[in-house]
Structure 1
Amino acid sequence: MPMLPTGAEAEADLVRRAISGDVQAVRAIIRTHNQRLYRLVRAVIRSNADAEDVLQEAYLSAFSNLNRFAGDASLSTWLSRIALNAALARLRAQKRLKRAAPARPSTDADILPFPGSLPTADPERIMAQRQLLSLVEEATDALPETFRLVFVTRVIEGLSVEETASLLDIPIATVKSRLHRARRLIRSRLEERIGPVMTDAFPFAGTRCDRLMETVIARLGLTK
């Protein structure tokens, strides 16, 4: 019975196909890593539109230099480093521009999509969850950059302490201390803002309320 390829072998085959110009392999790589790379870039840039632009440039750089991928680290780590470097370069350029000219007010108010977190059946619940998600994003954006990168990498993306330390090129102890501080800052900010949003928790209105009402009326045998 033939041996099935390991994860590393499958990844190496995907890379080889992408280098040869196989568009399906390129698509597979992007689909696999898109979410993590976007969130990592977004943690640095803090603008959805700019993050997409930076990620696009990072992909172009990565695929142009894919033949340099030696497999010493995982493809995910290799791509993450490219994306992170691209984001930091953009951030430095933005800071230079900011020093040279007044900053333009940001109008980027989109909410990051977290797969599976927003059910489609109940508009009231969708709105409440969007409010909560927006608060989490706002609190994350408010973190100092060094804490924000660790928080996004460890908590949102779920990388291990060792993987985060390697990616950000910092000691493991620094990852732990920054994550502890980031969580305290997030918790503090959410506690300040959560009160008004909690008044809309457990929504039971709109279609859900109407459905229950009509069911009760029908079971009571009342005429509409």
Structure 2
Amino acid sequence: MAGQDPRALIDYAALDDTTLVALARAGRREAFRQVMQRCNRRLFRVARSVVHDDAEAEDVVQEAYVNAFEHLSEFRGEAALTTWLTRIVLNEANGRLRSRKPTVELDQIETLQREGGRVIAFPSRFGSEDPAADAARGQIRRLLEGAVDDLPEPFRLVFVMREIEECSVEETAACLGLKPETVKTRLHRARRMLRAALHDTLATTVTEAFPFLGARCDRMTHTVLARIAAQVRDEV
């Protein structure tokens, strides 16, 4: 149509990363928007695995994007765009860790204890039709998230990229500046540490669950006995 902006006809979602970067360099903001939409989830999870805070992880990713946009001319395509951006996010996140004060305010601790951390999203396949099932899935998710959060950072980063983001060994190695063999070794150790941590945590959780199960058992027994007693009275 006459007078229509030709930029509106571009299907940015169909373009590859190299083309998007070229368009972004030329000032096409919509191209960079598409880059962010493709990379947001991975970059947030990587940042979150370093800074341990949702809000700060978002801020890290935003700052990294601004930095990346200002230095798009430095992207040579020698590595994948996500790899290049991941390195920028890691630099920003680690820089923040180095600048942190060694003490944490009490209200921050209380807030974290109340809200908990989120690393892995486990969507429910079955909706929310069963509150008890939803509560159980939520408890399992919190246990897993806590166990991942407690991994030492070198192992946590590898685990998040390999198991959660499903990156290849080679891509993980490129992002983190490691040898592929080191990625494999760290992932193996991360899995082993998670198994040990979850074993201990689940053992405690199961032990603590028995009083609840016992209370339910008592309630059911009382109900059945009351019904039997009522039937006996009716028969007399």
Class of the TM-score when normalised by the shorter of the 2 chains: 0.7 to 0.9
AA matched with 1:191: H
1:159 aligns with 2:159: no
User: Is the Cα–Cα contact under 8 Å of residues 132 and 197 in structure 1 kept in the other structure?
Assistant: no
TM-score by length of 1: 0.75
The offset of 1:131, in angstroms, is: 1.4
1:183 aligns with 2:191: yes
Q: How does 1:64-103 map to 2 (within 5 A)?
A: 64-94=70-100, 97-98=101-102, 102-103=103-104
1:193 aligns with 2:201: yes
Greater RCO (CA < 8 Å, at least 6 residues apart)? 1
TM-score by length of 2: 0.72
The offset of 1:179, in angstroms, is: 1.1
The offset of 1:154, in angstroms, is: 1.2
Unaligned runs of 5+ in 1: 1-6, 201-224
Larger-gyration structure (1/2): 2
CA distance in 2, matches of 1:118, 1:21: 41
SS at match of 1:134: helix
Structure 1 residues 61-97: Cα deviation after superposition (integer angstroms, max 9, x where no partner):
1111112211111111111111111111111112xx1
Q: Which of 168, 171, 181 lines up with 1:173 in the alignment? A: 181
CA distance in 1, matches of 2:184, 2:199: 23
Q: How does 1:39-118 map to 2 (within 5 A)?
A: 39-94=45-100, 97-98=101-102, 102-104=103-105, 105-106=108-109, 107-108=111-112, 109-112=116-119, 114=121, 116-117=123-124
Hey, what does 1:10 align to over in structure 2?
Answer: 16
CA distance in 2, matches of 1:125, 1:11: 41
CA distance in 1, matches of 2:133, 2:42: 26
Unaligned runs of 5+ in 2: 1-12, 211-236
Identity %, equivalent residues: 43
Structure 1 residues 142-200: Cα deviation after superposition (integer angstroms, max 9, x where no partner):
11111111111111111122222221112222212211111111111111222436969
1:118–1:126 Cα change, 3 Å: farther
1:115–1:69 Cα change, 3 Å: farther
RMSD (CA atoms): 2.5
CA distance in 2, matches of 1:58, 1:115: 26
The offset of 1:36, in angstroms, is: 0.5
1:115–1:63 Cα change, 3 Å: farther
Give the number of aligned pairs: 189
CA distance in 1, matches of 2:172, 2:36: 21
User: Is the Cα–Cα contact under 8 Å of residues 118 and 126 in structure 1 kept in the other structure?
Assistant: no
The offset of 1:35, in angstroms, is: 0.6
CA distance in 2, matches of 1:66, 1:49: 26
Q: Which has the higher helix share?
A: 2
